[in-house]
Amino acid sequence: MSVEEQVKDIVAKIAHIDKSIMSREATFKEMKADSLDIVQALVAIEEQFDIEIPDEEAQKFRNFGDFVSYVEQEVAKKG
Amino acid sequence: MSHGTSRVRIAVDAMGGDNAPGEIIHGAVMAARDGATDIILVGQQDVVLKHLAAEGASQDLVKIVHADEVIREGEAPALAIRQKRHSSIVVGTRLLRSGEADAFISAGSSGAVAAAAATYLGMVEGMERPTVGGGFSSFAPNIVVMDLGANVDCKPHQLVSFAIAGTVYARTVYGVQNPTVGILSTGSEEGKGNDLVKSAYPMLQASGLNFIGNIEGNDILMGKANVIVCDGFVGNVLLKFYESIGDRARVWLMGKYPSISRLVGFLFDKVLPIKKLSYEGEEEGSGLLWGIDGVVRIAHGACHAEHILHGINGARKAIEVDLVGNLKREIAHLKEQGKLQQGGLS
């Protein structure tokens, strides 16, 4: 399963979001994910991929695609 | 529970609350001296040690786990638990996750405690958000209102999850075998209320719970339903209004009839239950955070040592009667009946 699919699964489960609306362009607001959903998802993804997502990076995510790209990049760095 | 013994280990946030750390540590020391529970104080070690010394408590009485930071009231909860990963709230919650403690109690920021618990312990399957509920003491035995403020904005299916938690609460805490469930609204007929109530109504009907329909404000103290669900905004306003009635009635009567003020004082202090109108939780001063996959209790910010002692005892009881397991079993039972999908929960 791709990183994007795994991230999608985690966010969908935590925030109770229908995966069909989770496009890369969708903002968290459009997906109706609130701040607690986002924090829960960040922690779950850090643990799943054994990476760290600094808050200053997380605050730059404009949409779901930015989030996925960052995770993909960190996972690739780990080899 | 610790290996090889049945002793419950309870982590206590030493730094959270208006009267922390003094009152919190005093309550924790009382619990440790009772001898029924192993206490772990979580907070700034030098501060905790100073207060333990003032209590005349030896360092063997409790375990201390150091936490550098403190989350203050007013900080955005979700952000605070990310930015202060070494705070007493986050460190205490993680002790449960690592299996070093069986329960956690904090009088600190309720939002941060709930956020940390949801993030690091996770939710029981079928529960989306932590919820706080409790009974209204004195006039209305055997009722529980959920939510009392943890979720000010709710989705309809969240009210169904509150109803399930409330059902387990009424059954476990009050011994009511088949608790009735009502939804708080502005009229008793179906179709009355705001969009949230109208959307949640058919979900509750389909949930498999003992749903009896809308409950009005004047039905609450009549005990018309054992479990009353509402969003946390309504529940919190209701709770604080209720808590204020006894004191205001006492002051009003003493002012209106000064010649019998001593009699009024006597009646309110010794006879009438109205003086004690307050949110009960299961133990006065704190309540369980329902829906979390672990035992976490939130104490009132202004709590005192006795409330912490009660809260610690309440946490121990929650573990002994397996409240979290009961909630999981109730949800599994409703799922087996195929009801929860109709009730909006997956």
Verify whether the Cβ–Cβ distance B119 to A43 is below 8 Å: yes
d(CA B195, CA B197): 6
- A3-48: pLDDT as tens digits: 999 999 999 988 888 999 999 999 999 998 888 899 999 999 999 9
Chain B residue numbers with beta carbons less than 8 Å from the beta carbon of A19 are: none
Q: Which residues contact B284 (CB under 8 A, 6 or more apart)?
A: B137, B278, B307, B310
- The pLDDT of residue B177 is 94
* H/E stretch holding B66: strand B63-66
Residue B118 has pLDDT above 90, yes or no: yes
Average pLDDT of chain B is: 90
Q: Residues of CATH 3.40.718.10 domain(s) within chain B?
A: 1-125+291-320, 131-284
B237-B243-B246-B251 Cα dihedral, nearest 10 degrees: -80
State how beta strands B37-43 and B8-13 pair: parallel
Chain A residue numbers with beta carbons less than 8 Å from the beta carbon of B115 are: 36, 39
d(CA B89, CA B12): 9
- The pLDDT of residue B339 is 66
Verify whether the Cβ–Cβ distance A55 to B79 is below 8 Å: yes
Instruction: Point out the residue among B79, B128, B346 whose CB comes nearest to the CB of A35.
Output: B79
Verify whether the Cβ–Cβ distance B78 to A43 is below 8 Å: no
- B254-268: pLDDT as tens digits: 999 999 998 988 888
For B10, the token pair is: 């309870």
- The pLDDT of residue B341 is 57
Provide, rounded to the nearest whole percent, the portion of chain B with pLDDT above 90.
68
Which has the closest alpha carbon to B35: B62, B65, B54? B62
- Shortest CA gap A25–chain B (Å): 24
Chain B residue numbers with beta carbons less than 8 Å from the beta carbon of A34 are: 78
- Phi first, then psi, for residue B34 (nearest 5°) are -60, -30
Annotated catalytic residues of A are 34
- The pLDDT of residue A55 is 87
- The pLDDT of residue B128 is 85
- B316-339: pLDDT as tens digits: 999 999 999 999 999 999 888 876
- B223-252: pLDDT as tens digits: 999 999 999 999 989 988 887 888 888 889
* H/E stretch holding B287: strand B286-290
Which has the closest alpha carbon to A14: B115, B4, B201, B35? B115
Instruction: Point out the residue among B82, B128, B346 whose CB comes nearest to the CB of A55.
Output: B82
Task: Determine the topology of domain B131-284 in CATH.
Answer: Isopropylmalate Dehydrogenase (3.40.718)
Which has the closest alpha carbon to B287: B254, B310, B257? B310
Spell out where B96-240 has E strands.
Answer: 103-106, 131-136, 144-146, 180-184, 210-215, 227-229
Residue B132 has pLDDT above 80, yes or no: yes
Domains parsed from chain A with CATH numbers: 3-78 (1.10.1200.10)
Query: What is the residue-wise DSSP string for B100-125?
Result: S-SEEEE-S-HHHHHHHHHHHT-BPT
Architecture of domain B1-125+291-320: 3-Layer(aba) Sandwich (3.40)
Verify whether the Cβ–Cβ distance B115 to A36 is below 8 Å: yes
- The pLDDT of residue B282 is 45
CB B127 within 8 A of CB B332: no
- The pLDDT of residue A40 is 92
Which of A 40-79 lie inside 8 A of B, CB atoms? 40, 42-43, 55, 58
For B158, the token pair is: 């969240």
